[in-house]
Structure 1
Amino acid sequence: MDHLLTYTLTVFTGFFAIMNPIANTPIFLGLVEGENSKTKKKIAKKATVIAFLIVAVFVIVGKYIFELFGITVPAFKITGGILIFFVGFEMLMSRKSKVHNTQDPDDGEAIAVSPLAIPILAGPGTIVTAMNNVTDANFIHIGIVIAVFAVMALLTYWAFTLSDLILEKLGNSLISVIGKIMGLIIAIIGTGMIVEGIKLSFNL
Structure 2
Amino acid sequence: MNEYFSFALLCLTSFFTLINPLGVMTIFLTMTSDLESTNRIRTARKSVFVAFITLVIFAITGQLLFKFFAISVDSLKVVGGVIFFLMGQDMLQARLVKPKLTDSEKKKYVNDISITPLAIPMICGPGAITNSIVLMESASSIGMIVILLCSIFVICYVTYLIFVNSSKIIHILGETGNNVLMRIMGLIVMVIAIEFLVSGLKPIIRDILKIS
TM-score interval for Structure 1 and Structure 2 normalised by the shorter chain: 0.5 to 0.7
User: Does residue 152 of structure 2 align to residue 145 of structure 1?
Assistant: no
8 A contact 2:83–2:117 mirrored in 1: no
1:35 is paired with a residue whose SS is coil
1: CA distance between counterparts of 2:147 and 2:82? 30
Report what 1:94 is aligned to. none
> 1:40 corresponds to which letter in structure 2?
R
Segments of 5+ residues of structure 2 without an aligned counterpart are 91-95, 100-104, 193-198, 200-212
1:33 is paired with a residue whose SS is coil
Report what 2:195 is aligned to. none
How many Å apart are 1:11 and its aligned residue? 1.1
Report what 1:90 is aligned to. none
Larger radius of gyration: 2
User: Does residue 32 of structure 2 align to residue 32 of structure 1?
Assistant: yes
1: CA distance between counterparts of 2:31 and 2:153? 23
Report what 1:128 is aligned to. 130
Please identify runs of 4+ aligned residues in structure 1 that moved more than 6 A: none
How many Å apart are 1:166 and its aligned residue? 4.5
Question: Matched residue pairs, number?
Answer: 164
Distance change >3 Å, CA 136–CA 66, structure 1 → 2: farther
1: CA distance between counterparts of 2:83 and 2:137? 23
What is the TM-score when the length of structure 2 is the normalising length?
Answer: 0.63
Q: Percent identity?
A: 27
What is the TM-score when the length of structure 1 is the normalising length?
Answer: 0.65
1:74-127 Cα deviation digits (max 9, x unpaired):
x97xx69xx6xxx9xxxxxxxxx6564636598321211111111101111110
Distance change >3 Å, CA 125–CA 98, structure 1 → 2: farther
Structure ranking higher in helix proportion? 2
* CA RMSD, 1 decimal: 3.8
8 A contact 1:52–1:153 mirrored in 2: yes
8 A contact 1:44–1:157 mirrored in 2: yes
Segments of 5+ residues of structure 1 without an aligned counterpart are 88-96, 184-189, 191-204
How many Å apart are 1:70 and its aligned residue? 7.7
